[in-house]
Amino acid sequence: MGEDTDTRKINHSFLRDHSYVTEADIISTVEFNHTGELLATGDKGGRVVIFQREPESKNAPHIQGEYDVYSTFQSHEPEFDYLKSLEIEEKINKIKWLPQQNAAHSLLSTNDKTIKLWKITERDKRPEGYNLKDEEGKLKDLSTVTSLQVPVLKPMDLMVEVSPRRIFANGHTYHINSISVNSDCETYMSADDLRINLWHLAITDRSFTDIVDIKPANMEDLTEVITASEFHPHHCNLFVYSSSKGSLRLCDMRAAALCDKHSKLFEEPEDPSNRSFFSEIISSVSDVKFSHSGRYMLTRDYLTVKVWDLNMEARPIETYQVHDYLRSKLCSLYESDCIFDKFECSWNGSDSVIMTGAYNNFFRMFDRNTKRDVTLEASRESSKPRAVLKPRRVCVGGKRRRDDISVDSLDFTKKILHTAWHPAENIIAIAATNNLYIFQDKVNSDMH
Amino acid sequence: MMLSKGLKRKREEEEEEALAVDTWWLDPGHPAVAQAAPAVASSSLFDLSVLKLHHSLRQSEPDLRHLVLVVNTLRRIQESMTPPTTLPPVPNPPAAPSVADNLLASSDVALSASVASLLEDLSHIEGLNQVPQPLADEGPPGRPVGGAPASLGALDLLGPATGCLLDDGLEGLFEDIDTSMYDSELWVPPSEGLKPGPENGPGKEETPELDEAELDYLMDVLVGTQALERPPGPGR
C-alpha cells in the first residue's frame, strides 16, 4: 500500500529520552468520531487527548488534513474503593463518541468502574465593551462612565472547553471492558466481565436493568466471562457480546428485558487438528465490531480475525491468520502472559479491508476482495514523516529474504493493541505503546 | 509480565525442557511434537498454571478473564494427566499413595479452597457495593449468592463420595482431588449435575515418579499456598 506517513507523538514533558516510557503515557484506546474530523486517545494515566484534522488548505497542500492536538483533559483520576479496600485504576479503557447533534461534541470515556460523558465546546468570541467592568473585569469607577454602550462579541483565540456533563458511577461490580452508543442516540450500554448495563444518557443515578447477566448462582461454576460488546449500527434493539470461550451472542432487546436467552449464538466448532491446552485461551474473543453496513461482524482472537455473517451462526464466513507462526510458541507466550493480550480490530469505511495489530509494532491489513494481506510496521526507526510504509515479512524458517524478521527476534513488548480507521477515508490511527501514529493514504488504496 | 520473577525454580532443567518441547502438547498427530516424555512436560505446565493461578489470586482485584482462562486450562491439564478409563491397566501394581501424592492432593485442595472462597468473597463484596436498582440483580433466582461459605463446599469434597454435598453442581472450579488423583474421571462438566459416584478402581497406575527435587518444589508450592489461604474453615 503506498502511503504517506504522518507521525504524531504525544508530547509528554516527563519523557527524558525517547526510550524511556512513562507508564501513564501508554495509550489505552483510540477512536475516531463519526466524521473522522476528531480523533480521541485515552491513556493509562486517565488523560484524554483529542486531535483535530486541519482543513485542507491551498497554501500548504502538503499539509493536507493533518491531525493536530485539539484538546487535552484529565478524564479519570485514581480512586480508592474503601469498601473493598483497593485502588481503582484511572486507565481509560474505552472512548466512544456520540453522534454530533449541535455545535458541541460529546464523548463517553470509561475506566474500570465509572463512565463519564464529556462535552467539548469551542469558544472563539468573547463579549467586550461592558459598561460597568473594564477589560480585566474590575469594576469601573462610576464617575468615569458617561455613556452607555452595548457589549459586542469580538473574535478571540480559539479556546476549547471540556466539561463533564454526566458521571455514571456504581453500575459495575466487575471491570468494564466496553461501552457502545445506541443508534437511537439516547441510550448506551456498558459491559463488564459478567454483566451488561443499559443506560440512558440523561439519567445517571441508575442504569436500566442489566440486559445481560451471566454470573452463575455459584461463583465456583464460573467458566466464562464477557469480553466485548457492541450495539448494531442501525437496529437499536440489537447488540452482540463476545465471550472468553470464543462465542458471540446476538441479542434482541425486544425479546426480553434480561437478554440471557440469546437470540443467536455464533460459535465455530473447535478444529481437532489444532487442539491444545491453550485452545480455549486463544479462542477467547478480544474485540467484536459490526461492519458499517451492519451485515457482518468482525472478531479478533489471539491468532486470527474472523468475519461473521449475521445470518450464519455455524461458522465465520472468512478467517484470516494474523500471526499463525505463533501457534508453535504458545507455551512461552502463556508463560509470559502474552497469550492473554487483547488485540482490537477495525473495518475500513467500505467494509472491504480489515485491520488489526500484532507484535513487534506490526499491524496487519486484509483485503476481503482480493484476499491479499500486508504487514506494516509502526515505529520511528522505520518510518520518517512522508515516507512510504514498506511491507514487512516474518519468516518462519526456510528461505529468508533480506529484510525479513525471524519469529525469534520479534519483540513481544511492542504490541499494537489499539487501532482505529477513519469512518470514510484511508486514514488509520495506530497506538504503539506511548506513541500515536497516523497514516494517510495519499495515493489510491491499491495494496501490494 | 514475567511470572517467574522472584520465584526460584528448583530445577532449571525443567524450564529449559518446557521451552524446548513447547509443541508437545499439540495433538500427537502434529508433526512438531517432540519426543520428550509427556508426563514430565505436563507437570511443568501444571506447575506453571498453578503459579499463574496463585499470582492471579494475589492481586487485590483479580482479572476475572485471566483467572477463568487459567483455571480452565489447569482443568484440561489435569484431565490429561490421568489416563482415560478405556486404557487397559498397566501391568505393574498401582503404587500405594505416597507421601508426595498426598501432598500434591492436599495442595490442590488448599488451592481449590482458596479460589472457591475468593470467588465467593467477590460475590459477598458485590452485595455490599450494589447500586439500588429497580429490579433485583442477583442473577437467576435460586441459590442466594451469599450462601454457605464456598470453602466448606470445597472441603466437603475431600472425603469419598458420600453424596452429602452442600450444593449441586459442586464440580465447580476444581474437582475432588484427594484420592481422586487416582480416579480415571477427574472432571465432570457442571451440566452433569451431581458428582460421579465412588471412585473407579486404581486408574492411576502411571503416577509420575516424584523425585526429591520435585518433592522440594511441591513443598514450596504448598507452603506458598498455605500462606495465601483464607482462615481455615471447619474440617481443616
**CB-based contact B22 A332, cutoff 8 Å:** yes
Distance CA A400, CA B139 (A): 56
Q: Does B164 touch chain A (CB under 8 A)?
A: no
Distance CA A355, CA A348 (A): 8
- Is the ipTM of this structure higher than 0.90? no
pLDDT value, residue B150: 36
Q: How do beta strands A264-266 and A248-252 pair?
A: antiparallel
Q: Does B36 touch chain A (CB under 8 A)?
A: no
Please report, as a single letter, which amino acid is at residue A160. Answer: V
pLDDT value, residue B84: 59
Q: Does A413 touch chain B (CB under 8 A)?
A: no
Q: Which three cell numbers stand for residue A110?
A: 470509561
Quick: pLDDT tens for A370-397. Answer: 999 999 999 876 556 667 788 889 988 7
Helix residue ranges per DSSP H, chain B:
12-20, 38-58, 64-81, 99-129, 150-156, 212-228
pLDDT value, residue A445: 40
DSSP string covering A299-364, please? Answer: EE-SSEEEEEETT--SS-SEEEES-GGGGGGHHHHHHTTGGG----EEE-TTSSEEEEE-BTTEEE
* B172 alpha carbon, distance to own chain's centre: 11
The mean pLDDT value for B132-146 works out to: 38
Quick: pLDDT tens for B153-212. Answer: 332 332 333 333 334 444 445 544 455 445 444 444 444 444 443 444 444 444 445 566
Chain A with chain B: Cβ pairs closer than 8 A: 150
Among A213, A219, A331, beta carbon nearest to B22: A331
Q: Which three cell numbers stand for residue B12?
A: 532449571
Residues of chain A above pLDDT 70, percent: 88
Q: What is the mean pLDDT of chain A?
A: 88
Q: Which three cell numbers stand for residue A380?
A: 520511528
Lowest-pLDDT range of A11-20, A351-360, B162-171: A11-20
Distance CA A216, CA A209 (A): 17
Other residues' Cβ atoms within 10 Å of the Cβ of residue A360: 22
Classified as helix, coil or strand, B106 is helix
Specify the pTM. Answer: 0.70
**CB-based contact B139 A213, cutoff 8 Å:** yes
Among B69, B147, B154, beta carbon nearest to A340: B69
**Angle between helices B12-20 and B38-58 in degrees, nearest 10:** 110
Interface of A with B in 44-103 (CB under 8 A): 81, 83-87
Quick: pLDDT tens for B81-96. Answer: 876 555 444 444 434 4
Other residues' Cβ atoms within 10 Å of the Cβ of residue A118: 23
Quick: pLDDT tens for B110-138. Answer: 555 566 665 665 555 554 444 443 333 33
